[in-house]
Structure 1
Amino acid sequence: MYDLFWRGLAAGLFALGVVALLAFGVEPPSGKSILLAQTSGAQPHELPQRWNGTVGRVETRQFGFEFEHRLDADAPLHLYVPYFEQRLSLGLNGIDLTAQANLTPWRGPLSSASALVLLPSEVLHDGKNRIDLTVSTGPLKFGALSRLYLGPETELAPYFRLRNFIEHDLKVIVFGVQAFLALACIILVAAHRREERFAWLGVSMVASCLFSLGTFGDTFPQVLPIVPWAFMLAPPAAIGFLGFAASLEGIRRTRALTIAAIMMPTMGYILILSGMAPLAEIVLWVILPITAASLSVALVILVRLFWCQPSADLAFLVSGLLLMIGAVVHDQFLRLGYLGNGVFLAQPARLLTLVGIAIFLMLHLARITRELDQAARTLSERLRQREDELAVVFERERTLAEKAASQSERTRIMAELHDGVAGHLSTIVALSDAEQTDHRGIQTVARHALGELRMVIDALVMPEGDLRIALASLRERSIDPLRRLGIETEWSMVHLPDVKWMSPEQTLSVLRILQEAISNAVRHGMPQTLHIKGEAMSSGKFAIHVVNAGGKGFHKTSEVRRYGVQNMARRAEALGGETVIRARGDGAEFTLILPTHGPESV
């Protein structure tokens, strides 16, 4: 149903355009026109007349008219000449009135001039009067003279103003619309470089603007010398519109059109400069046919597209192009002398076509905007659905993370208990199993176990700070028990660099690693001397060594598999470091290596 509506809309717009164009050629219905005879004495001829002079030469034709007039008429008498080519001079009863005549200038082979002349009462005779007209041609060959109308100004002036509007004011309007569309296309191409359709339409509009420079010849006489050359740009304008139609259809191979748009005016200029053909012949037999042919092919493409995909924007575009092609064909027949109304319709048809193009662009952009809005709504809906799915996934991941965190916390607490409290409890058990139980020793170890619990609690609430402070706290807790066991201890952290990136949990991990290393050295190495020292390394790391000497040797293959040793390695790896255990003759050396500025600096 909509397809039929859009097709009917296109037909209706075309019909309205035809009616509007035909209205431009209406002549006064009540004037009187009498052709008496030419001054040469030849037989009378009916007006209008068209003829071809000699290219490059100024030639004249003279016409004489006689009419009856009564001086007691109420309104002043005027002579209206709807069109003539190219220049006109006139006289009444032997008096030259050319200087007093209101003449519109002739602006080229695709235009005509008109005149409205007041016939002064002091020159008119009561009775028979004579008007002498001289029509001059050259350097172009075209000559024409329309019917002549006598009557009051109130009857003839509206038709003269309409002609003047068509030949001057309408061209200014057309130029303005073309310039606006050209600017709009340039902006669209700059914003969307891949939009080939707007690039072709911009070429068509820019060429049309240059082609229409003669519009301002009255205001700026400097442009008049280039007006004949501007006619060569009519084919590029039509070819640009053909490229626009091809891009709408989806035809991408338009290199031939680009070459044609460049070659056509170039060949025309070469023909004119070489003297092989005059401008008038080129306009008549090259410019107009190529323009009409290009627009016709564009029309075929657009009609086919409109028939397959009817829409409002294409309805305006197709109807406007139909009017334009019809106007070009009309002007061709008018120039060849087959039509006699003297009104060139290309300019008014161009305005209707440009209006159709402007409406097409607005509707086309509106449709694109609607499609983008719909796409945005669809994307928003899909995004909402995806967000809902991600929310479910996030909640599931959060639950798993909480479970993993709980498991990690249980593992950490187990390690803390093993490294601290469990070691002291094992000592208490060993002392209790001895034959001579020293209750004071058990009491001491129990105090140390309590101290270890306090250290865990203190480390967890300790603010981020210098590792030296935490190591000093470990030294205070370790020196006294080691001395009671008869172990000489050397503790030195003078060469340890500043380490301030560790959190309380990370600091506690370092303390636990060292505490486990000291505990292992005491339990398994039975040392006489224990050396604990820190130093900076050249690779951006630091090391803390725990060396036991004067005791039992170290069997690496059996000792490194213990849970405590593996737990120390895991703690160090979590901090971005490593542990190294080396055997010595009378003991062993444990080394903790960590980055000085955090794991990310490694």
Structure 2
Amino acid sequence: MIARLICLLVLICAATLGFAALAQTTPSGPAVIVEDHPEGPILRFSRAEISLSRSDAVPDSGWAARGLPALWLSDEARAQQDGDLSAWVRAEFDRSSLGNEAISVFTEDNRERLSVFVNGVNIFRNYSSDQKLMLGWNQPYLIPLPEALLKPGRNEIALRVESGNKHALGIGTISIGSQNAVGAIYQRQYFARIDAPKTLNWIMLLLSVFVFVMWLGRRQERELLWLSLTGILWFARNYHFFAETVPFDPVLFQQITYYSVYFAVACSLAFCAEFLKLRHRKQIIFAMFAIGLLLSVSRYVLTLTDRTDMASSVMTVVLFGTFLVLLLRHSIRTGSAESWMLLVLLSLAATTGIHDIGRIPNIDWWTGAGFHFQPFIGFFLFMVFMLSLARRFLSALSLVEETNVHLEKSVTEATDALAASQKAQREMEVDRALETERERLMREMHDGIGSSLVTALAVARKRNDPAPTIKTLQRAISDLKITVDSLAPVEGDVVTLLANIRHRMEQELTEAGIASIWKVEDCDPLEWMDASHSLHLLRLLQEALSNILQHAKATTITLACKPDSFERKAGLRISILDDGTGFEPGSRNGSKGLNFMYERAAILHGLLTIESENRGGTAVSLWLPQVPPSSDLERKLEKLDG
């Protein structure tokens, strides 16, 4: 595939050279071409008389008819002249054919110093000193022709161009017309040749310096280095397109502007290789600069022999083409949008490079667009490179921002998890302390108060104390056991609490001749049921059973527990039913025992109902929620326990 692409590239170069050979023909036809323009006719000279004379005034002899523009007179002038080079061109025009409006001459592509004469009188020159070398080759000039020097009929316009012996000498285009007509052409050309390139390239230089400063801070980003060097070298190459005077030694300036193009191309390709992370990019970059150096040597040798440097110019395009082959392979393999974009961009640069090679004076294949694309394509390359790099940086910045958001979220989650862990640890420590304290209290009550009560009961029985005394001691021991049971960890298991109170009250119920029926279903634990709540529940149930023992005259008690909901809230319901005598509604108003039962039910976030059955007996029902409301209903704990 690579071999085919290289063959195709060679064929394209051969076709280009063949087309150029056909295009490079001597102009024929009329010497003056009249062009219609909305502001009036324009006379464009396609042929004129040229003299290679160093005379300061319009020479009288040595004229020969030649086609215009005559962009490469350097070799002929060097063969006839020593020192600085000089050439004259003259043409005649009829003033009456241009109407009555003020007229001007428009000329461009003159190398380098320019003087204009009308009927033998010098009316313009683009330099102030004979020793100063100008850069007039790309400058368009618009010179008004004074009416006082013009004749009603035939007039002569003459131009003299001068250049250093080591520089190019050439005569450009000449057009005469009304000030508005040729002025419109001049404005378009001045913008395309001078204003636009100057503005864009100075912007490129400033941005290059900025990028270079960025690279100093981020040496690992080699794309920044190649991008800054690309902009600086293209500016060095393009400066002579819009500069009118030489800023330093003319020979050195010429060499810098000529040879910088090879290294500007190498830096451009080096940026692409580094930006796209091509395989073997270090070797590719080294090869690009080696070829650039080789092209510089090639051009230097060719210019020493006074031969055209077309070969090195064409080789620059071939260098572009070779890199395009590598870039095409990378684009096909990766499918990267950036690769395809740079491939199209470099193909455009190679195409415009061929266009500009055809406009080189000693090649002169064509006039093309009438101006060079190179000042624009260098800026365009730099800006696209910079925007591609900026896009990548912005993507990286977005990734960093997303990472920061993710990290902040992770840190927040970790902080919350740590806080929850610390809270759980503190709760565990509190629970452990409470458990330790409960165990201590249980031991103290069992070994202290419990032992004393058991001893007192044994003494009372041995002395045959009255039955009420013995019963009171038994009730006290039972109450103490219930209190101890409430301190035991049951993890909110109400069924376990009910089993404890049944166990503690079983003996009293049996002695009273009351049978107990157990109807308890599996219920979910109440997580909020701690030791304090457990004691309240046991006391409430103890009070209900005590009332049955003391007042109901019942023979059977049914203790039930099952899951139940109230007002769409999940919970469980505890019921105690007896078959005793019941009671009259309102007869127990003001009973402290019943009031304490209701208050304890409120502390338990529950709902207590006590009803007398029609068939006799009493039903006590207590509903407890699975999840309690957030309220402070336990404020009476100390009062009730006291």
> Which of 228, 242, 245 matches 2:254?
228
Partner of 2:539: none
Partner of 2:355: 330
1:228-265 per-position Cα deviation (integer Å, ceiling 9, x unaligned): 23232222222122121112222264444554576567
Where in structure 2 are the equivalents of 1:186-335 lying within 5 Å?
186-212=212-238, 214=240, 218=244, 221-222=247-248, 224=250, 226-230=252-256, 231-251=258-278, 253-256=280-283, 259=286, 277-278=303-304, 284-286=310-312, 288-289=313-314, 291-297=316-322, 299=324, 308-309=334-335, 311=337, 320-335=345-360
The secondary structure found in structure 1 opposite 2:44 is: coil
**Residue type of the alignment partner of 2:355:** H
The secondary structure found in structure 1 opposite 2:109 is: strand
Root-mean-square deviation (Å): 4.5
Q: 1 CA distance for matches of 2:281 and 2:306? A: 30
- Could you tell me whether the CA contact under 8 Å between 1:52 and 1:141 is conserved in 2? no
Residue 385 of structure 1 and its aligned partner are, at CA, apart by 4.4
Aligned residues: 383
Partner of 1:474: none
Partner of 1:148: 174
Partner of 1:163: 189
- Could you tell me whether the CA contact under 8 Å between 1:246 and 1:301 is conserved in 2? no
> Which of 68, 74, 86 matches 1:47?
68
Q: 2 CA distance for matches of 1:49 and 1:200? A: 39
Residue 137 of structure 1 and its aligned partner are, at CA, apart by 5.1
Where in structure 2 are the equivalents of 1:66-215 lying within 5 Å?
66-70=92-96, 73-99=99-125, 107=135, 112-136=138-162, 138-140=164-166, 142-212=168-238, 214=240
Greater displacement, 213-222 / 356-365: 213-222
Partner of 2:491: none
1:547-596 per-position Cα deviation (integer Å, ceiling 9, x unaligned): xxxxxxxxxxxxxxxxxxxxxxxxxxxxxxxxxxxxxxxxxxxxxxxxxx
**Residue type of the alignment partner of 2:357:** Q
Residue 120 of structure 1 and its aligned partner are, at CA, apart by 1.6
Residue 338 of structure 1 and its aligned partner are, at CA, apart by 0.7
Question: Unaligned 5+ residue runs, structure 1?
Answer: 1-26, 414-602
**Residue type of the alignment partner of 1:247:** E
- Could you tell me whether the CA contact under 8 Å between 1:236 and 1:264 is conserved in 2? no
Residue 397 of structure 1 and its aligned partner are, at CA, apart by 4.1
Cα 1:408–1:217 change in 2 (3 A) is farther
Q: 1 CA distance for matches of 2:93 and 2:413? A: 89
- Could you tell me whether the CA contact under 8 Å between 1:327 and 1:345 is conserved in 2? yes
Cα 1:255–1:179 change in 2 (3 A) is same
Cα 1:224–1:46 change in 2 (3 A) is closer
Q: 2 CA distance for matches of 1:218 and 1:41? A: 30
Partner of 1:354: 382
Residue 61 of structure 1 and its aligned partner are, at CA, apart by 4.0
- TM-score, normalization by structure 2: 0.49
Partner of 2:10: none
Q: Matched residues, percent identical?
A: 16
Residue 408 of structure 1 and its aligned partner are, at CA, apart by 9.7
The secondary structure found in structure 2 opposite 1:155 is: helix
Partner of 1:481: none
**Residue type of the alignment partner of 1:364:** R
**Residue type of the alignment partner of 1:352:** F
- Could you tell me whether the CA contact under 8 Å between 1:185 and 1:201 is conserved in 2? yes
Residue 179 of structure 1 and its aligned partner are, at CA, apart by 2.0
Residue 349 of structure 1 and its aligned partner are, at CA, apart by 2.5
- Could you tell me whether the CA contact under 8 Å between 1:49 and 1:145 is conserved in 2? yes
Residue 352 of structure 1 and its aligned partner are, at CA, apart by 3.0
Is 1:377 matched up with 2:402?
no
1:502-525 per-position Cα deviation (integer Å, ceiling 9, x unaligned): xxxxxxxxxxxxxxxxxxxxxxxx
1:381-408 per-position Cα deviation (integer Å, ceiling 9, x unaligned): 4444444554554444444555677799
Structure number with greater Rg is 2
Q: 2 CA distance for matches of 1:292 and 1:405? A: 87
Where in structure 2 are the equivalents of 1:540-559 lying within 5 Å?
none
The secondary structure found in structure 1 opposite 2:207 is: helix
1:13-56 per-position Cα deviation (integer Å, ceiling 9, x unaligned): xxxxxxxxxxxxxx995522243555678875443333352296
Partner of 2:43: 32
Q: 2 CA distance for matches of 1:251 and 1:100? A: 50
Cα 1:259–1:36 change in 2 (3 A) is closer
Cα 1:135–1:382 change in 2 (3 A) is same
Is 1:339 matched up with 2:360?
no
The secondary structure found in structure 1 opposite 2:220 is: coil
**Residue type of the alignment partner of 2:42:** G
- Could you tell me whether the CA contact under 8 Å between 1:85 and 1:136 is conserved in 2? yes
Greater displacement, 40-49 / 180-189: 40-49
Residue 347 of structure 1 and its aligned partner are, at CA, apart by 0.8
The secondary structure found in structure 1 opposite 2:140 is: strand
- Could you tell me whether the CA contact under 8 Å between 1:324 and 1:349 is conserved in 2? yes
> Which of 387, 390, 395 matches 1:367?
395
Residue 161 of structure 1 and its aligned partner are, at CA, apart by 3.3
- Could you tell me whether the CA contact under 8 Å between 1:186 and 1:202 is conserved in 2? yes
**Residue type of the alignment partner of 2:210:** A
Residue 65 of structure 1 and its aligned partner are, at CA, apart by 1.3
- Could you tell me whether the CA contact under 8 Å between 2:226 and 2:267 is conserved in 1? yes
Q: Which has the higher contact order (CA 8 A, sep 6+)?
A: 1
Q: 1 CA distance for matches of 2:254 and 2:230? A: 19
Residue 75 of structure 1 and its aligned partner are, at CA, apart by 1.8
The secondary structure found in structure 1 opposite 2:227 is: helix
- Could you tell me whether the CA contact under 8 Å between 2:262 and 2:316 is conserved in 1? yes
